[in-house]
Amino acid sequence: MYPMKALSGYHIMWAMLYFDLPVVTKPEKDAYLEFRNFLLDEGFEMAQFSVYLRNCASKEVAEALIKRVEKALPPEGKVYILSITDKQFESTVRFIKNKRQTPQKNPDQLALF
């Protein structure tokens, strides 16, 4: 049996996806809703309007996720994906209503044997 490798904050990645999609016509609104539902189904959580985050166990998982997003892109608009390490993400400073918030707790890692 292989020894279990501990995941480090330099190995775990975060995918930050942000977008600007048109929502003027009915087909544009439908495309927006379809894309947003796809993101939620893929495990993204909304950080702000048009900004979504997802924790990925590795760079390879993040790259596979990016390929799935690419296949689901709406026909119009702009979509950006920024991948950063867990160590970089933990230095995020958040303010809500002019008050500094404690760092966001990262999701627990699931180990399968």
In tens, the pLDDT along 57-98 reads 999 999 999 999 999 999 999 999 999 999 999 888 989 899
Structure tokens at 51: 């900004």
Check residue 62 and give its pLDDT: 97
Q: Is the pLDDT of residue 3 over 60?
A: no
Total-model pTM: 0.81
Summarize pLDDT for 10-66 with one digit per residue, the tens.
Answer: 789 999 999 999 999 999 999 999 999 999 999 999 999 999 999 999 999 999 999
Chain centroid offset of residue 28 CA: 22
Domain 13-100 has CATH 3.40.50.200: no
Q: CA-CA distances (angstroms) from residue 26 to 22, 23, 83, 87? A: 10, 7, 32, 41
